């Protein structure tokens, strides 16, 4: 028997470091093995040989998991980067790199449609001059480089991706395409399938574990050469990667909000760097992070300023919802004429909808609020119904049903106020369900469909809705931002944003940026197929804040103006992307314990600053109650760490947390590097 050697193994446990094990077998980095841990058996990934002899007794590796070949070295390097950058246990990071089921498990005949449909191939359109310039500029690059394809909605970014993928395939390489989960529609997959046929694999949340496992092996064994997926597709080790594409790179959903809190876009750029291949980020409304990188020359900028085929961007009209005083007879008449309209519908929007419907075209109304009303209030005592687990008001659904949008708590709405027992509860605010009810009354005989999380709960629901929009069956679509992304309906000529103000005032420094993005994306659904010379699509934005920064720029399709303005605002306060941010959330079931721990964390932060000279530049904010002060029965505090020197925040946070043995039981500290969500 050969002599035992020592190995660093990343084991599936919440440990900050890899552990040392011995083995008499020859092993390589990237190999999955079975190891004992305490009294249990678990999986671990070999990171490499070691000479360090730990203090405790060294255990032996049980066996090699022969199902998997060793992960490629660059891929392991990328996993190690994730663990160290996002301060997440390396052993738990590496578990994501394997499929959910064993390959050998017997395949059951499935009644489900195949993951990738079989379609006849399309014919290649001639690239527009802008598409051609961008394609050629990106295609020049062989090794790592990052590109921002900054193209207005409908400018043909996807066609540029398809050409780049085609080029990579012709060179014998493979491609990875990331899209936000919600945009991973059948429409999109079909578009790729028509171009590349059976070379496509897809990974998204609607797949069964079996489908997921099969897709994973098809990619890893090289049977498929293009993988399209949501952010987690990054964890499938695509061999010979020649290009990585991240569509809608600004989407906050690229950030995973739990466990490993990575940003899929940033992780994709790091992957390109480690695997030495180009990375293309595409968006009509780039994140300020990416925009700054492009402005400062770290990313190559490729603009697509025009929609394809001479199609015009939609006209944007902003309607002030503040009540107009009737000071002459004409205005009095007008107010009379439209007195049947609900308060959320301006005469302008109503008339444009009528015209659009008369022409046989479609309209869509967006409102980022589900339900009938935002909240119920007692007019006598001011009592509002709040969720007992979360610190937010309940939303009224289906007449008398109150729902918490965070934890799904339900209750029946009572008529009498449960607090003062006198007033009768009244619903105030606006939701998609109410819009639908009002529209049915205003446009009798028209087909109205609603798309929000209450109506669309599965991919099948979404497919059904898309088909009904495409066939022209639906006249009016009402929905939340869920349908604002990527969809492309030829007959959709009018988009109305019912209340753009939703979201202006969220307690988050990105609120204005998010509003700008949403307004632009939703507007971008309008008139995508108008022919040259035809009148363009129309967008009507209703608001109580016509002068809000996000609106002033969005109505003129002026992303660059917006970005310059907003970057100045961020710089003044050192907020990202100018500074770097780390958030610590302190949570637990007992308020006083949570408060105490939050204060202790802050004291540790200040003494660390005082002890280490270089940390002078780090700012510590808080602790403060989180905007959602209670969620699912847990009290929440947070502490923010901010600095204009990015590398400082990471090491500072690592030292601040330490071994966490100082954290009292019953309290958890959750760290989020480059957080997207501060609520």
CA distance 154 to 492: 13
CA distance 607 to 416: 54
By C-beta, is 346 or 521 nearer to ligand ADP? 521
Integer angstrom CA distances of residue 116 from 189, 222, 467: 7, 16, 17
Residue 629 near Zn ion by CB under 5 A: no
Contacting ligand ADP (CB under 6 A), which of 64, 288, 308, 439?
308
By C-beta, is 160 or 404 nearer to Zn ion? 404
Integer angstrom CA distances of residue 458 from 4, 369, 417, 436, 563: 52, 19, 36, 21, 35
Minimum Å gap between C-beta 650 and ligand ADP is 34
Stated length of the chain? 679
Contacting ligand ADP (CB under 6 A), which of 23, 31, 131, 520?
131
Nearest to 496 by CA among 285, 313, 319: 319
Minimum Å gap between C-beta 635 and Zn ion is 13
Give the list of residues 6+ apart from residue 384 with CB closer than 8 angstroms, or none: 375, 376, 377, 378, 393
Stretch that binds ligand ADP, among 67-75, 156-164, 503-511, 562-570 (CB under 6 A): 156-164
DSSP symbols for 233-293: GGGS--TTEEEEEEETTT-GGGB--SSS--BHHHHHHHHHHHHT-EEEEEESS--HHHHHH
Pick what 389 binds: ligand ADP, Zn ion, none; C-beta below 5 to 8 Å, kind-dependent: Zn ion
Pick what 159 binds: ligand ADP, Zn ion, none; C-beta below 5 to 8 Å, kind-dependent: ligand ADP
Contacting ligand ADP (CB under 6 A), which of 83, 156, 286, 675?
156
Give the list of residues 6+ apart from residue 86 with CB closer than 8 angstroms, or none: 260, 261, 262, 673
Minimum Å gap between C-beta 248 and ligand ADP is 9
Per rule CB under 6 A, count of chain residues that contact ligand ADP: 16
Contact 356, 493 (CB under 8 A): yes
Contacting ligand ADP (CB under 6 A), which of 95, 146, 153, 214?
153
Residue 119 near ligand ADP by CB under 6 A: no
Pick what 407 binds: Zn ion, ligand ADP, none; C-beta below 5 to 8 Å, kind-dependent: Zn ion
Helix (H, G, I), strand (E, B) or coil at 362: strand
Minimum Å gap between C-beta 528 and Zn ion is 38
Contacting ligand ADP (CB under 6 A), which of 49, 100, 117, 125?
125
By C-beta, is 91 or 154 nearer to ligand ADP? 154
Q: Which pair of structure tokens corresponds to residue 238?
A: 């695509």
Contacting Zn ion (CB under 5 A), which of 35, 138, 220, 387?
387
Please name the helix (run of DSSP H) or strand (run of DSSP E) that holds residue 463, with its range, or none.
helix 459-470
By C-beta, is 162 or 271 nearer to ligand ADP? 162
Contacting ligand ADP (CB under 6 A), which of 130, 159, 436, 452?
159
Secondary structure of 83-131 as H, E, C letters: HHHCCCCHHHHHHCCCCCCCCCCCCCCCCCCCCCCCCCCCCCCCCCHHH
Please name the helix (run of DSSP H) or strand (run of DSSP E) that holds residue 412, with its range, or none.
strand 410-412
Say which residue the tokens 């180009």 belong to. 278
Helix (H, G, I), strand (E, B) or coil at 421: coil
CA distance 250 to 268: 13
Minimum Å gap between C-beta 649 and ligand ADP is 34
Per rule CB under 5 A, count of chain residues that contact Zn ion: 7
Residue 155 near ligand ADP by CB under 6 A: yes
By C-beta, is 222 or 310 nearer to ligand ADP? 310
Residue 144 near Zn ion by CB under 5 A: no
Residue 309 near ligand ADP by CB under 6 A: yes
By C-beta, is 247 or 436 nearer to ligand ADP? 247
Residue 127 near ligand ADP by CB under 6 A: yes
Contacting Zn ion (CB under 5 A), which of 403, 404, 519, 581?
404
Pick what 127 binds: Zn ion, ligand ADP, none; C-beta below 5 to 8 Å, kind-dependent: ligand ADP
Q: What is the largest CA-CA distance in the chain?
A: 103
Pick what 404 binds: Zn ion, ligand ADP, none; C-beta below 5 to 8 Å, kind-dependent: Zn ion
Pick what 670 binds: ligand ADP, Zn ion, none; C-beta below 5 to 8 Å, kind-dependent: none
Contact 84, 47 (CB under 8 A): no
Cα angle 547, 552, 556; round to 5: 155
Pick what 120 binds: Zn ion, ligand ADP, none; C-beta below 5 to 8 Å, kind-dependent: none
Residue 526 near ligand ADP by CB under 6 A: no
Would you tell me which residues interact with ligand ADP (CB under 6 A)?
125-128, 131, 151, 153-159, 308-309, 488
């Amino acid at each position: 028997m050969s002599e035992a050697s020592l190995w660093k193994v990343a084991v599936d446990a919440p440990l900050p470091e890899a552990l040392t094990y011995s083995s008499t077998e020859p092993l390589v980095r990237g190999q999955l093995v079975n190891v004992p841990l305490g009294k249990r058996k678990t999986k671990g990934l070999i990171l490499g040989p070691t000479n360090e002899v730990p203090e405790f007794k060294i255990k032996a590796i049980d066996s090699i998991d022969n199902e998997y070949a060793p992960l490629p070295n660059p891929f392991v390097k990328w996993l190690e980067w994730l663990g160290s950058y996002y301060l997440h246990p390396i052993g738990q990071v590496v578990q994501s790199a394997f499929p959910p089921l064993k390959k050998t498990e017997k395949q059951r005949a499935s009644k489900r449609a195949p993951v990738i449909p079989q379609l006849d191939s399309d014919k290649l359109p001639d690239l527009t001059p802008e598409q051609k310039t961008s394609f050629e500029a990106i295609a020049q690059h062989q090794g790592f480089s990052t590109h921002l394809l900054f193209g207005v909605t409908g400018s043909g970014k996807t066609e540029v991706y398809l050409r780049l993928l085609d080029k990579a395939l012709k060179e014998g390489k493979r491609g990875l395409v990331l899209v936000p989960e919600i945009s991973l529609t059948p429409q999109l997959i079909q578009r790729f399938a028509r171009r590349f046929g059976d070379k496509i694999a897809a990974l998204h949340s609607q797949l069964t574990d079996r489908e997921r496992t099969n897709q994973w092996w098809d990619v890893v064994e090289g049977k498929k050469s293009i993988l399209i997926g949501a952010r987690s597709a990054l964890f499938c080790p695509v061999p010979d990667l020649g290009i990585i594409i991240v569509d809608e790179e600004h989407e906050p959903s690229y950030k995973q909000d739990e466990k490993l809190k990575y940003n899929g876009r940033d992780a994709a750029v790091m992957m390109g760097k480690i695997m030495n291949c180009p990375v293309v980020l595409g968006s009509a409304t780039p994140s300020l992070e990416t925009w700054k990188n492009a402005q400062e020359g770290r990313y190559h900028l490729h603009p697509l300023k025009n929609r394809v085929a001479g199609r015009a961007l939609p006209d944007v009209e902003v309607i002030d919802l503040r009540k107009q005083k009737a000071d002459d007879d004409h205005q009095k008449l007008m107010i009379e004429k439209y007195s049947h309209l609900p308060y959320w519908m301006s005469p302008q929007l109503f008339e444009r909808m009528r015209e659009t419907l008369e022409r046989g075209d479609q309209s869509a109304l967006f409102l980022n609020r589900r339900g009938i009303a935002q909240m119920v209030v007692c007019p006598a005592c001011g009592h509002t119904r709040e969720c007992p687990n979360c610190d937010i008001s309940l939303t009224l659904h289906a007449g008398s049903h109150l729902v918490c949008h965070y934890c799904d708590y339900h209750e029946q709405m009572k008529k009498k106020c449960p607090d003062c027992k006198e007033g009768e509860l009244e619903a105030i605010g606006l939701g998609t369900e109410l819009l639908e009810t009002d529209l049915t009354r205003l446009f009798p005989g028209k087909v109205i469909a609603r798309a929000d999380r209450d109506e669309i709960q599965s991919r099948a629901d979404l497919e059904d809705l898309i088909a009904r929009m495409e066939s022209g069956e639906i006249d009016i679509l009402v929905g939340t931002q869920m349908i604002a992304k990527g969809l492309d309906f030829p007959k959709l000529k009018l988009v109305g944003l019912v209340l753009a103000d939703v979201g202006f005032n969220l307690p988050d420094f990105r609120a204005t940026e998010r509003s700008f993005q949403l307004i632009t994306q939703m507007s971008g659904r309008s008139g995508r197929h108008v022919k040259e010379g035809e009148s363009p699509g129309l967008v009507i934005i209703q608001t109580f804040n016509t002068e809000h920064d996000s609106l002033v720029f969005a109505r003129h399709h002026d992303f660059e103006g917006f970005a310059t303005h907003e970057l100045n605002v961020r710089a003044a306060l050192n907020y990202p992307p100018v500074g770097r941010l780390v958030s610590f959330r302190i949570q637990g079931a007992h308020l006083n314990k949570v408060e105490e721990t939050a204060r202790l964390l802050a004291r540790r932060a200040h003494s660390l600053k005082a002890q280490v000279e270089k940390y002078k530049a780090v700012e510590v904010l808080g602790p403060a109650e989180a905007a959602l002060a209670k969620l699912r029965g847990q009290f929440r505090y947070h502490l923010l760490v901010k600095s204009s020197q990015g590398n400082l925040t990471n090491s500072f946070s690592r030292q601040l947390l330490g071994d966490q043995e100082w954290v009292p039981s019953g309290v958890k500290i959750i760290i989020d590097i480059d957080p997207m969500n501060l609520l």
